[in-house]
Amino acid sequence: MGAAGGAILQRKKPHDLCTARDAGNFLALWQQHAGIDLLSWLAEKFELTADTEVVLAGSIPLGLGTPVSDLDLFLIPSSDHEPKPHEGLEGIVLMPATGESLTRLELIDLAEGVEVDIQVLDRSRLERIVRAIASGSVLLGTEEYTTIGRLCTGWALGRKSSLDNRDGFDRSMFFVYASTREFVVALKHYEDAVAAGTDNSFLSVKMARLAIERCFQAFFCANSLPGLGEKWLRMYAPGARRPDTLDSPVFDRMCAEAIPLLMDAPKPVDEAMREYLSKVERFLSATRSLIERDRKYKIAFSVCRQIG
């Protein structure tokens, strides 16, 4: 990290924005914290128009924020306008290496001790992706997949959502796609774990743990929670806040089975490794059964050749 990045980390301060219950409550908390409304603060950074959409994504709308959480904001401009940063802007400005990125530029800045990560999206590219998802035939790259997932779980901080009622887009279709994608990756990691076996027990355990984590991600997507990443572990702490859409009793049962597999390493001998991988396989199978309780996911999994 460069000097500017280090300076931002050193100047960060705790905040109570993580307690926001919804978009309106967040905007009120922001006003109290920063002493200026959010759109006015953004207008000091970018050339905005009245129809620029602003979406808060990440841990806060998911209910997983902490007093040191960063703010992740997406700006979606109108089709004929791009929010360019003002001259002399402080903070870290990042530009994509090629013109193929969904993100046109990214700004990392501070607002009264709160780190704010602002990504300006390419609206026309976003709308093409949304149309492709709505058509039911799409192959998303990692950036596209992650961004759509974060938009789906974010809060629109304005007059409309960035995805609802656009080009026939149905969030539930994306959740099915995302869950299927994550479970396929889980199976591939498990296959790699089995292939490594006792010849490379360290690799085998690592891949098995990755399979478990991606299995959780598939479950979260089926609970309308794509893109949780590693932050799902915050929900495991006693008394932790959890998103409303999460099936908490099922999540607790999954954790009771999976956490020991994630935390305890088996001895690198044939019998111990076979038993460990057998437990991982049972966990994957049990999670698939849980997800397939919803018929949409059962159909999607059954027609996916990589799952079968």
Q: What DSSP character marks residue 266? A: P
pLDDT interval class at 284 (50, 70, 90): very high
Sign of CA dihedral 265, 270, 271, 277: positive
Lowest-confidence pick of 25-39, 161-175, 221-235: 161-175
**266 is in which domain, residue-wise?**
171-303
In a domain, 164, yes or no: no
What would the pLDDT profile of 170-188 be if each residue is shown by its tens digit? 888 899 999 999 999 999 9
- The whole-angstrom separation of Cα 300 and Cα 177 is 8
Average pLDDT over residues 72-101: 74
Name the residue with higher pLDDT: 82 or 65.
65
On whether the CB atoms of residues 124 and 148 are closer than 8 A, the answer is no
Q: Is residue 308 part of a domain?
A: no
User: Does 163 reside within a domain?
Assistant: no
Residues 175 and 257 in one domain: yes
The percent of residues in the chain predicted with pLDDT above 70, rounded, is 89
Query: Distance between CA atoms of 238 and 261, rounded to whole angstroms?
Result: 19
Tally Cβ neighbours within 10 Å of residue 141: 12
**For the whole prediction, is pTM greater than 0.95?**
no
Whether 67 is in a domain gets the answer: yes
Residues 35, 173: Cα–Cα separation, whole Å: 40
Identity (one letter) of the amino acid at 241?
A: R
Q: Of the candidates 96, 112, 110, which has an alpha carbon nearest to the alpha carbon of residue 147? A: 96
What does the pLDDT look like over 91-123, one tens digit per residue? Answer: 677 766 566 788 888 889 888 899 999 999 988
- If one counts the domains in the chain, the total is 2
User: Do both 123 and 195 map to the same domain?
Assistant: no
Give the chain's length.
Answer: 308
Q: How far apart are CA 145 and CA 178, in angstroms?
A: 8
Q: Which of 69, 18, 63 is nearest to 237 (CA)?
A: 63
Torsion angles phi and psi, residue 34, rounded to 5: -95, -15
The pLDDT, as a whole number, for residue 168 is 62
Which residues are bridge partners to 103 per DSSP? Answer: 121
Residues 25, 152 share a domain: yes
Q: Check residues 143 and 280 and name the one with the higher pLDDT.
A: 280
